[in-house]
Amino acid sequence: MIKSNIDKNIRNTKESLSNIDNYTSKINNIFLKAVDCPSCKNSFKTPTIKVNIPRVASRDSDFFIRYVSDNPYFYEVWICPSCGYSALKSDFPKLRDYQAKLVKEKITPKWVDREYALPFNEKTAIERYKLALVNSLIIESKSSTKGIICLKIAWMYRLILDETNEKNYIKQALIALEDAYINEKLPIYGLDRFSIMYLIGELNKRLGENTMALRWFSEVITSISAPQKVKEMARDSKDKIGRY
């Protein structure tokens, strides 16, 4: 009995040490990046994953990348603690004058700064992405911006196996990306015309809209200009529908 308790304590101690090592490793892979807010001109620091740290585990068919640890998706939203302006890091510096005015008039008066414990997790990432989404609606961002944010929120819900919310945000992403495909200049967020067409088809497939999905996949497959890699992805997704 005594030996059993000792063995159990040893195992618990090893697990605790392993958790501490894992936590320390994650913290050490984060640095604070200095950022200037284009809205209020405040300077602040935001957590960022060090370059070359993230290790890819796998890739989902809608371009979601799964990482072994140290998930860079968790840190993609920058939030000014002073005025509340929030956006994807790639969009953060691109605020236009009329948008800065909207931040000042409609976001800052209601803004209450909040702190997030490091390292960030899925729950924190979802909250930060939703802040960016609210900002994008208020400052009248393009549909592509709203669509990409919604897609990344869906991915975060996928990580915690919340299928209901995942599908809800996939649906919102699909609506926005279809509008972007029709009305915006491509490429958007690194996705060319055919990648967007494929993605729209894939999101339709994930929502069970197989007829629409097949239509988009066929457009990609039969296009002379579509890259071979994108055609292969479209064929794979089309074949999966055929097997259901």
Q: What's the mean per-residue pLDDT of the chain?
A: 92
**Are 205 and 121 in the same domain?**
no
Same-domain status, 131 and 61: yes
Average pLDDT over every residue of 65-79: 95
The model's pTM is: 0.88
Is residue 238 included in any domain, yes or no? yes
Rg, the chain, Cα only: 21
Other beta carbons within 10 angstroms of residue 214's beta carbon come to 18
**Whether 36 and 132 share a structural domain:** yes
Task: State which of 101, 116, 142 marks the end of a domain.
Answer: 142
Residue 172, domain member (yes or no): no
Structural domain total, the chain: 2
Domain hosting 61: range is 27-142
Q: Are residues 128 and 37 in the same domain?
A: yes
In terms of Cα–Cα distance, which of 116, 124, 121 is closest to 26? 121
13-17, 100-104, 157-161: least confidently modelled range: 13-17
Would residue 102 count as lying in a domain? yes
Rounded to whole angstroms, the Cα distance separating 18 from 11 reads 10
Q: Residue 55 falls within a domain, yes or no? A: yes
Question: Do residue 124 and residue 212 come from a single domain?
Answer: no
